[in-house]
Amino acid sequence: MDERSLLKQKAALKAVEFVESGMVLGLGTGSTVRYALEAIGERVREGSLKGIVGIPSSKDTEKKSQDLGIPLTSFQEHTTIDLTIDGADEVDPDLNLIKGGGGALLREKVIAQASRRNIIIVDEGKLSPCLGTLFQVPVEVIPFAWALEAAYIERLGARVNLRKAPDGKVYETDQGNVILDCRFGPIKEPEKLALDLCKRAGIVEHGLFLGLASDVIVAGKDGIRHLKRER
């Protein structure tokens, strides 16, 4: 395991310490969350976690959870989530996030909004002084309107690329939409940008997760830091 993977694993294991028997869990998507899923699955199998159920944020997480023996549920059965563990692509000093690098931003935001506590796990390379400094903003749009919305977002000041899959085809989300990766550079007013993106009928959701993280667990060379949002 390389150094960065080891940091991801350490952050994930720290987050799993907050999981208790009987909880409804939100299960995020991505390489860091994979370590949390493995730890949860192990504790379910050994019997130290009982009566938990998870709501996955992607088809990929659903399959991994099933393979690991994590019981799953849905919003039809549970409309409130006790605790979500998820990753992020960028975290600012106020614990606002950019998410969506893995393509699951729509379901991830639904789950985050339904969660009593939302724990984000990252390595220290994801920390940023200002959102947009390190990562582009993923924007999920309906296929019918992608070119129209790309032009609109460019007028807001971004360089926009239609996301492609590794095989060169247009990337498709679990909901059958496409993603525009929008590089704004440092975003001085993320709340205003979020509102501007929400105005458009063709935009389904954006990767600005503002005010949704209750905790951020950061793994770095000097150890683990647990950051909490000021209430």
Cα distances from 102 to residues 106, 172, 174, in angstroms, run 11, 11, 11
Is the distance from CB of 77 to CB of 202 less than 8 angstroms? no
Active-site choice (62, 108, 140, 205)? 108
Cα distances from 1 to residues 6, 7, 9, 89, 163, in angstroms, run 6, 10, 10, 21, 29
Cα distances from 48 to residues 14, 20, 40, in angstroms, run 16, 9, 10
The Cα–Cα gap between 177 and 159 comes to 20
108 is catalytic: yes
Is the distance from CB of 63 to CB of 174 less than 8 angstroms? no
Q: Which residues are catalytic?
A: 108
